A and B are shown apart, each in its own frame.
Chain A
């Protein structure tokens, strides 16, 4: 069964609104989680590393004020896309490591109108 869940699986919002995506590790604790973004026909791009109890680490070119990450507990990380614009429309996927393997959430498809 799934070991990492994401919610929502799909969201459509208006430009300028904020969208929160949750990533949960099921039945295991994850002090670190990763957030990726995937545009059509492109590779997954790591956006940031979410660290429980400390600030997230953002990859070069990712705006930390736009993509807010909160690792609230050992099983939950949230990504908030603030003031979303159409160019933020993408597939957002989180992952969590467990026993040496990365497990990915099912992804959230964000469409900003």
Chain B
């Protein structure tokens, strides 16, 4: 079983729509959670950390469910520039070693 699993998508949504997707992780001892964004053939960039109480950053909302071991990301009022692959990332030791999901591809169309 993969350490971090994501629905690969793609999610094709019109501008202005809301899109949401999850990822699951297998190690219950995981300590830190992140969503990264990766554009085609580029390096990943941190979108947001995910906190136990859930957190919001502008149009992006992240939730963590430790009991069910999943993380979600919701994008409101989608923009064309939101088109990317979103990587769910988990740190198992609270340090800098990260485990990545394969990514969920989102395409926002005009």
Complex CA–CA separation, A46 to B93 (angstroms): 14
The 10 residue pairs across chains A and B that have the minimum distance between CB atoms:
A104-B43, A43-B102, A43-B100, A44-B100, A97-B96, A107-B43, A106-B43, A104-B44, A42-B102, A93-B43
A residues at B contact (CB < 8 Å): 32, 34, 36, 41-46, 49, 91, 93, 95, 97, 101-102, 104-107, 109
- B interface size (C-beta, 8 A): 18
Q: Mark B89-110, 1 if CB is under 8 A from A, else 0.
A: 0000000111111110000000
- The secondary-structure label for the interface of chain B is loop
Q: Mark B36-70, 1 if CB is under 8 A from A, else 0.
A: 00000111111000000000000000000000000
- The secondary-structure label for the interface of chain A is strand
B residues at A contact (CB < 8 Å): 2, 4, 8, 41-46, 87, 96-103
Complex CA–CA separation, A23 to B2 (angstroms): 28
Complex CA–CA separation, A36 to B98 (angstroms): 10
